[in-house]
Each structure stands twice: as C-alpha cells, then as structure tokens.
Amino acid sequence: MTEKDKKEIEDRYNETWKNIMLDTTPGDMEKAKKIVNQLYVIKGHKEPSSILIVKNPVQGAVLAHMLREGKPISYLENVIETDTFDNFPDYEIDSSFAGASEAFWVGWYDMKEKEFAEKMPPGFDELRQLTEEIGWLFTYSDCAIICEKPTVMVESGGDLHNYEGPAVAFNADLEIYAISGEYKSKEEWETESAPYRCSLGRAVLQGDYSKIEEE
C-alpha cells in the first residue's frame, strides 16, 4: 500500500467520522442504555442500577457532582423530573467519555481495525456504536449519566465556528459560541460576528459583491 493509498483511506475515515461528530439527529437512548450496560459488564462491573438521561453536559456535571457528594439516585431523578438544574451552580465537565465529540479518535481506531487489521481491546465495538448515539457519558459504580447529542453543531475547516448563531447548542438550554475555534461569550460573539451577519459586511469581508444589488 502506497502513502497515497493510506492518505486516501485516512481522508475517507476522517470525513465519515466528522459527519458523525456533526450529526445532530437525536440518538436512540434505549440503544445507548443497552450499550452502556454492555460496557460495564465487559469491563468487569455490574450493570448500573440506574442510567439517567439529561439534555446537555452541564446538567450531567451537576448530577455527577451530586453523586460525588453522596446524594441518592432518587434525589438526582427528582432534579431531572422537576428540571431544577438552574438552582445549582455550574461544575466542571469531567465526563468519562465525550461521545460524538470524540468521534475523530474513535474513527482513527476504527480505521486501524478495519483497514490495517489491528486488534482493538474488548468493548471497542460497543464504544464505536455509542459514539453515534450520545453527547457525553459520566460513569460511576452504580449509576451512569448519558447526555443527549447537541441540536446544533457547526464547524469550518475543522474548528467550531459560526457567525450566524451558536456553534454548539443543546436546544435553548445551553448555547456555546465560537469563531475560528475560539470560544466566545455571547457578548464577544455579537460584537465580532456583527459585520458578517450584515449582507454588505459579508460582501466586503468575503469579497463577494454579487448579491448586494439584489438585496
């Protein structure tokens, strides 16, 4: 196999897994729960007694902090049911697995297994499937927390980037703004993206004057 052949294979897998990372189709949560149970068993643990589903990783981090504080699972379930996450501070997102956000490295090992016959460790096939269904995963001895996939994910040239709105969003619950891979506060984003959101500004900055007269 030539270097050109290898490059073509890498490019093909990169494109496939980039599309998986950017896919905002809602995941199958029942399938995800089954895969998480399988992963626990493969890694030598009992299935968790509870698998909780949340809308975004900030909510997941709140529940994870509660578990570390010793709160019972019923307490966490009540927070989800009553949607009272705003009553708690934000905590650092320290998940076990970042789901679709880790699609590139999962895709890299997917390529090594399928194209170069490298043996992957037990559980890799399940992890590969899970990547397509979830946003984030927090794992604890008796409880797992699954975060749904984003509803918006926009990139340009491999970086999170969007002049028209959030680069990543989880419905209206969490919006993340970024320009050329740099995270911005909403105020920073509004200031820096304003010229590009104006049709004349876009024409000047992008060198495309064709639509100015039409507008």
Q: How far apart are CA 45 and CA 206, in angstroms?
A: 55
Contact 51, 59 (CB under 8 A): no
Percent of the chain at pLDDT > 90 equals: 72
Q: β-strands 50-54, 143-147: how paired?
A: parallel
Which pTM value belongs to this model? 0.84
- Average pLDDT value over all residues in the chain: 88
Q: Give the pLDDT mean for 144-152.
A: 94
pLDDT tens per residue across span 15-52: 999 999 999 999 999 999 999 999 999 999 999 999 99
- Which residues, 6 or more positions from 152, have their beta carbon under 8 angstroms from its beta carbon? 24, 165, 166, 167, 168, 169
Cβ–Cβ under 8 Å, residues 21 and 100: yes
- Of the pLDDT bands very low, low, confident and very high (cuts 50, 70, 90), residue 215 is very low
